[in-house]
Amino acid sequence: MDIKLFKKNIKFFKQKKPEIYELIKEKSKASFDIKIEGDFIKVKKPDGLYIENKQEIKKKITENIDLIIIPAYTPSSPDRKWIHDRVIEKWDNILKSKFSIEKLKEKVISSKHIPLLFLEGIGVGNVFSILENENIEIDNLLVYEPDYFNFITSLYFVDWEKVYENYSVFLIIGENLDKVKTGLVTYFQDYSPVFSLFFIKISLYQKKEKFQQILIDSVNLALKGWGYYDDEKEALEHVYENLKAGFPYIYRPLQVDNESNVIIVGSGPSLDERIDFIKENKENAIIFSCGTAIHKLYKEGIVPDFQIELERPKKRVSLFEDLPEEYRKQITLIAADVVPKELLELYKDAILFPRTDAVTQFLLNPQYYPIGIAPTVTNTATSLAMFLGLKNIYFIGVDMGYRNVNKKHASDTIYGNKIKEREVKNYIEIEDNEGNIIYTDDILFWAKNNLEHLTKNLKDRNFYNLSTGAKIEGTVYIKNIDDINISKYDKQNFYERLKKVVSNEYNKFFKPDKRDHYTKAIEVINNFQKKIEQIFKEKGIKKRYKLFKEAYDYVKNLKEENIVVYVLLGGTFKHILIKVIYLIYMSKPKDIKEATRSIGEIKEDIPNIKSYLELKNLNL
């Protein structure tokens, strides 16, 4: 038992990794009785006895090696005629003919190079010295130790500073699976999911199927939000048309009005239970209706102050045009500028805001824009409420989950009627506001995480959760609505304040990036295509992997060089790369010629968006 090493580790975590130190500092004061007898290490911990046999650990490393595979991307709308889908389909077809889990596992292990190694449990830390002696090259190390006291025991045996020096390390400690998943999502978003689609997993403890699913869900979640070429093309087209039509923008935030109230209405199941609260308080608070919640409000005779919209597909127009015109024309729409003009014209009037992280945000370069607006419209409404200075924010129907997987939305919405419920293959278990287990899916889990970034960090706002779905950290849960009384609020005051930050004098708040993005996009497509071709001219896996990383770095570095072109092309390029990383282990050059040539389809289409990239005839 090395006391000096223990103290060195405590000092290292305190200085360099304070978030880990905060987790372990109290438990590290506990007493441990550690005995070493040959290959056996016996640890008497506060929570029981742990015995580790070094030879047994070697055996487990050999026997418990798994290759975790993340399923291939499948277009959500196979009939949408996107260039992105045609290109990806060609890569998918190669994968279907060549892919073998066992073959891939064999090649990854025999190459002695592991892009990402996941350790499920570390015991007292013998696993690190064993791996080091095997001369395996590991780029990234993801460590999960569910037992706090086992991790603290490792401080006597493992030089953690050296581990961090040798590898890119991400460490998760503890058994709270909700927090573990949040940690994993954070990791996979920071570390590129491109390199996470398969990884070697070594389990020192009994394998947990639930945890393995969390691992896969976390990578899938990190893959979301990339966008695709056609998606960004659609954004450019819609924003261009909306600017030509002269729709006004919210061009700067409002200061906080301490008397203000807003009710954000989502279409979660609990909206049915809370609808009377909205009726009773519609004169005391601004009402933000989020997307399809408006159908329920219409049925209940409630006219919201604002309808909030985020998404760009034109097919969404048909979801709302059957609402009576006399109803719609009482409502102001606040929408992302990528929303089609036809949808904006359905309402009394429409006010735009820049769609964060779309290619158009970086092309127009607004000084101010709301943050954290995705992935659901309830995220958008919350972000707008804060941007517009609203103080007391009440969530109704913002469930972020459901008790019954057969009822995911409130009654009288269009779900199950005009549109089908989204199919969910793997439900995620999370806590509700009272500690019970409810279900959610990958999109809502993502939405919950993003919402909590706002609710936990904005201390100058009050968040009240009147929904009966998932627990949302940073909000005050109100179980009995009789316990809350919204004070009278002068809504007219809000309307007057809003008018002061709305304008269509675009030159006052946009500073467009007027570089030649068209020529740059052509250049980038050519270079990326050549880099992919070069990978498969090599036969050795290590050389292929090196060229693959260069191709990835080329795309990544484009973000600094020209973010407009990066957002336009980067999503589709990264989706191609998540195919290529598999194929470098198992494909011959002749197999990928047609797929590589397909990248040129994007170049052939670029002239169709030239005028949008140049903001032609917009006087900007």
pLDDT tens digit string along 116-135?
888 888 888 888 888 888 77
Does residue 528 share a domain with residue 491? no
Does residue 523 share a domain with residue 497? no
Confirm whether 230 is domain-assigned.
Answer: no
Q: List CB contacts of 284: < 8 A, sequence separation 6 or more.
A: 261, 486, 487, 488, 489
Query: In terms of residue numbers, what domain contains 204?
Result: 3-63+112-223
Confirm whether 77 is domain-assigned.
Answer: no
Does residue 499 share a domain with residue 514? no
**Do residues 281 and 395 make contact, with C-beta atoms less than 8 angstroms apart?**
no
How many helices (H) and strands (E) in the chain? 26, 20
Confidence of residue 406 (pLDDT cuts 50, 70, 90): confident
Confirm whether 188 is domain-assigned.
Answer: yes
Does residue 496 share a domain with residue 529? no
Does residue 419 share a domain with residue 402? yes
**Do residues 214 and 442 make contact, with C-beta atoms less than 8 angstroms apart?**
no
Does residue 254 share a domain with residue 179? no
> In the listed set 483, 503, 523, which residue is the last one of a domain according to the structure?
503
Confirm whether 294 is domain-assigned.
Answer: yes
pLDDT at 73: 45
Does residue 264 share a domain with residue 197? no
Per-residue pLDDT, averaged over 170-175, amounts to 84
Does residue 545 share a domain with residue 437? no
Confirm whether 104 is domain-assigned.
Answer: no
Q: Give the mean pLDDT of the chain.
A: 88
Does residue 412 share a domain with residue 336? yes
Helix (H, G, I), strand (E, B) or coil at 476: strand
> In the listed set 503, 525, 551, which residue is the last one of a domain according to the structure?
503
Q: List CB contacts of 389: < 8 A, sequence separation 6 or more.
A: 253, 254, 255, 256, 257, 260, 497
Does residue 289 share a domain with residue 213? no
Confirm whether 474 is domain-assigned.
Answer: yes
Q: Beta strands 332-336 and 286-290: pairing type?
A: unpaired
pLDDT beyond 90 at 27: no
Confirm whether 81 is domain-assigned.
Answer: no
Confirm whether 353 is domain-assigned.
Answer: yes
> In the listed set 223, 256, 279, which residue is the last one of a domain according to the structure?
223
Which of the given ranges, 45-59, 161-175, 363-377, 540-554, has the highest pLDDT on average?
363-377
Does residue 551 share a domain with residue 488? no
Our count of domains for the chain comes to 3
pLDDT beyond 70 at 490: yes
Does residue 415 share a domain with residue 305? yes
